[in-house]
Amino acid sequence: MTRTQYYAAVSLDGFIAEADDTLRWLTEYQGSYGGPDAVPMKGTYDEFYDRVGALVSGSVTYEFVLNEVGEWPYGGKPCFVLTSRDLPKPEGDGVDVRFARGAVRGVYDEMIESAGDRSLWVIGGGNVASQFADEGLLDEVIATVVPVVLGTGKPLFDRRLPGGPMRLAGTRAFDSGMVELRYEIDRGR
């Protein structure tokens, strides 16, 4: 069964980006941890991404990727962009960007079908993840906590989630000093 996963890096105080949408706090982070439970961080993103069949983001995250990353990094996988604006599409082989207007529930079945037997990755931002949670369409939150305090910025979620607390499904301490927290969300299946 396809799982809908929100996978993001988050500051220690709960932000996924600075107020101006920059990520220097993440891209310039250099830390280490040499404890006996340290897991090598190298390759963990690739392991996650290999299990992704389709992606969904909001327009701000999409525009950040277009402007900051250069070549489209999600070739060969459908990427849905929730937006009410007309946005440019990247060029290149294997680019499959689909713009969606309206409520998440209205395009969810198409997203899941596009993911096949792999997961649907909710890239961000916090409002998009909150929309999935509000509709009971989010299965798991995977937050990699970076030991940086921003004080202000774009939150992991932009509102209180419905239902009870999430259930801790696992943790990993990385050799970078970051810690991955995995939480399951009961969708009432």
The predicted-structure confidence for 95-112, as pLDDT tens digits, reads as follows 999 999 989 999 999 999
pLDDT at 188: 58
Q: Give the strand order in the sheet containing 4-11.
A: 38-39, 167-174, 179-184, 140-146, 4-11, 119-124, 52-58, 79-82, 97-100
The predicted-structure confidence for 125-159, as pLDDT tens digits, reads as follows 999 999 999 999 999 999 999 999 999 999 999 99
Q: Both ends of the chain: CA-CA distance in Å?
A: 12
Question: Which two tokens mark 42?
Answer: 């190298």
Q: What is the number of residues in the chain?
A: 189
Quick one: pLDDT band at residue 91, thresholds 50, 70, 90? Answer: confident
Three-state SS annotation for the chain: CCCEEEEEEEECCCEEECCCCCCHHHHCCCCCCCCCCEECCCCHHHHHHHCEEEEEEEHHHHHHHHHHCCCCCCCCCCEEEECCCCCCCCCCCCCCEEEECCCHHHHHHHHHHHHCCCEEEEEECHHHHHHHHHCCCCCEEEEEEECCCCCCCEECCCCCCCCCCCEEEEEEEECCCCEEEEEECCCCC
Quick one: pLDDT band at residue 163, thresholds 50, 70, 90? Answer: confident
Q: Does residue 189 surpass a pLDDT of 60?
A: no
CA geometry: angle at 81 spanning 161 and 65, to 5°?
100
pLDDT at 164: 83
Q: Does residue 19 surpass a pLDDT of 90?
A: yes
The CA distance from 145 to 116, in Å, is 29
**CATH T-level fold of 4-184:** Dihydrofolate Reductase, subunit A (3.40.430)
66 CB neighbour count, 10 Å cutoff: 15
Residue 176 contacts residue 32 (beta carbons within 8 Å) = yes
The predicted-structure confidence for 51-87, as pLDDT tens digits, reads as follows 999 999 999 999 999 988 878 999 999 999 999 999 9
Domain locations along the chain: 4-184
